[in-house]
Amino acid sequence: MLERVLDLLWPRRCAVCGGKADRPGRHLCSDCLMRIPFVPTDGLCRRCGRDAPGLDGEFLCSDCADELRPVFDRAGSAMRFEGEARELVNAFKFRGALHLRGDFVDFLEATARARFRVGEIGFVAPMPSAAMNRFYRGYNQCDYLASALARRLGAPYAAHALRRVGVFRKQAGLGEKDRRENVKGTFAVTRSGARVIAAAGKGRAVLVVDDVMTTGSTLSECARTLKAAGAGKVWCVTLARAVRP
């Protein structure tokens, strides 16, 4: 009711077209929502969630069949990182467009419920942000998404289960092999993280929330760290996935 009153006093504007946002409490209008390049719910790799147009059911992609396959057990992404999706995610990540959280968490919840058995989630954790990034942005965008998603899924939230350690270069511009090498040893489980992993137990999954998956190397290293600390399964959900040939 409060949101409807606020919409009457200060009408929301669509983040894409600038027109009136006709969805209560959201910042994407119905027309622009239809143009978002969502990842399909069928024809996906059963491990990394990579889609293959024209295929039905699940399959195992060549990357996940390789001996260097990702360490995480299952992953899913809401959108392809292109067009309007790229602009929206970059605005949220780099330009403080945190008002988009409601729309984005809608997308993440739909993806999580489609890809995972949400009743098996032991806790939800955000991808930790590098200290320099938090300093310049003033926030960790993944924390905003993961905390709201945990409430939607009715799962415990562990904001500080993981932290970044060491010195590493940005992943942007690196090839797949270099990305894997670049993130080795760059995560650590905190004391509070070790406690929630122990409390969750082996039969439960850790759900890691990130903004964009490119090759999956960062999420894979994150999963390696969690499993070394005793996590049974690691699932990953991201807002968007880079389009790869």
SS (H, E, C) 124-162: EEECCCCHHHHHHHCCCHHHHHHHHHHHHHCCCECCCCE
Dihedral of alpha carbons 215, 44, 109, 157, sign: negative
Give 179-231 pLDDT, tens digit per residue: 666 678 789 999 999 999 999 988 899 999 999 998 888 999 999 999 999 99
**Three-state secondary-structure class, residue 12:** coil
Q: Which residues on neighbouring strands pair with residue 188, listed in sequence order? A: 163
pLDDT at 78: 97
Residue position matching structure tokens 């969502």: 38
**Three-state secondary-structure class, residue 195:** helix
Q: What is the mean pLDDT of residues 111-134?
A: 91
Residue position matching structure tokens 């209008």: 29
Closest CA to 196 of 208, 184, 185: 208
pLDDT tier at 83 (50, 70, 90 boundaries)?
Answer: very high
Write the DSSP symbol of residue 101: H
Would you tell me the crossing angle of helices 101-115 and 141-153 to the nearest 10 degrees? Answer: 60
In whole numbers, what is the pLDDT of the chain averaged over residues? 89
Residue-wise burial string across 217-237, b where 16 or more C-beta atoms lie within 10 A, e elsewhere: bbbbbbbbbbbebebbbbbbb
* pTM passes above 0.85: yes
| 137 pLDDT higher than 90 | no
Cα–Cα distance measured from residue 50 to residue 207, given in angstroms and rounded to the nearest whole number: 18
Among 42-51, 134-143, 233-242, the least confident range: 134-143
